[in-house]
């Protein structure tokens, strides 16, 4: 296991420990407090994001844990890119993933979240003048640490902003007739930004639908040093709706 991945998992475990300690410092809930299972279906890019969260009643809420499944569109370069090896046209490619999200309310409107999961990135591209199309498929273990603001009574406006840490665990380059390992073509670790607005709509007492528009952007150049395309400004980015 890569050392950077170990640090990411360790950080997630430590955050869970801090939230648990914070819970012990709060006085015990009243006997009348109720527990409920909250199911959220979130529309993202070209699919749905489903979260199932176990949470207590609003006045007694301590922590919230959800399992998220999502899809969207991603690329490492947008449009035409000129490199020393030729001119390439890059396109968005579908992405999907899943994660476990732990949220802790700081106030009635602001909550701190840590999300650990798997996210697929990459891009489709072709060389100008050639019909053959190739695809980079990159698999990352992602840790998101973000703050989410929610305002409203029934329907709520939300906005999240935070940082992402991504560790590359698999990479391939596929064309029409072959598939090659591409781990040496990319940097193994990336840090970036996640941000976007959303709306939380109640359906029943316990169920909610949350719609989000999220932009994810990696700060580091994705290609490894010395790669034939390392003169291209390539950054992992995804648009999730």
DSSP labels for the chain?
Answer: --HHHHHHHHHHHHHHHHHHHHHHHSPPPPTT--EEEEEEEEEETTEEEEEEEEEE-GGG---EEEEEEEEEEEESS-EEEEETTEEEEEE-EEEEEEEEEEEEESSSSEEEEEEEEEEEEEEEEEETT---EEEEEEEEEEEEEEEEEEE-SSSEEEEEEEEEEEEEEEEEEE-SS-EEE-GGGB-SEEEEEEEEEEEEEESSSS-EEEEE-EEEEESS-SBPTT-TTTTS----EEEE-
* Structural domains in the chain (count): 1
Over the chain (241 residues), the average pLDDT of each successive run of 10 is 54 52 44 37 40 50 79 79 65 88 91 94 78 86 96 90 97 87 93 92 74 88 75 79 68
Residue 134: per-residue pLDDT: 86
Residue 34 counted as domain residue: no
Residue 195: per-residue pLDDT: 95
Residue 56 counted as domain residue: no
Residue 35 counted as domain residue: no
Residue 212: per-residue pLDDT: 79
Residue 87 counted as domain residue: yes
Residue 151 counted as domain residue: yes
Structural domain boundaries, residue 186: 3-18+69-196+216-240
Residue 130 counted as domain residue: yes
Residue 47: per-residue pLDDT: 37
């Amino acid at each position: 296991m890569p050392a950077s991945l170990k640090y990411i998992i360790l950080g997630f475990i430590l955050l869970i420990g801090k939230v648990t300690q914070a819970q012990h410092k709060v006085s015990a809930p009243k006997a009348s407090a109720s527990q409920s299972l909250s199911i959220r279906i979130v529309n993202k890019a070209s699919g749905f994001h489903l979260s199932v969260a176990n949470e207590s009643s609003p006045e007694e809420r301590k922590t919230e844990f959800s399992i998220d499944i999502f899809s969207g569109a991603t690329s490492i370069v947008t449009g035409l890119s000129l490199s020393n090896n030729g001119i390439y046209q890059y396109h968005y490619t579908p992405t999907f993933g899943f994660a476990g999200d732990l949220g802790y309310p700081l106030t009635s409107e602001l909550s701190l979240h840590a999300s650990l999961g798997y996210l697929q990135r990459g891009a489709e591209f072709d060389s100008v003048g050639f019909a053959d199309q190739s695809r980079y498929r990159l698999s990352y273990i992602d840790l998101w640490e973000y703050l989410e603001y929610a305002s409203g009574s029934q329907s709520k406006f939300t906005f999240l902003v935070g940082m992402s840490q991504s560790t590359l665990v698999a990479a391939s380059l596929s064309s029409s007739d072959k598939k090659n390992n591409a781990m040496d073509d990319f940097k193994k670790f990336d840090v970036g930004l996640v941000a976007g607005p959303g709306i939380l709509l109640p359906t029943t007492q316990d169920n909610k639908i949350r719609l989000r528009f999220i932009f994810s952007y990696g700060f580091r150049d994705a290609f490894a040093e010395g790669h034939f395309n390392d003169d291209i400004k390539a950054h992992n980015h995804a648009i999730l709706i």
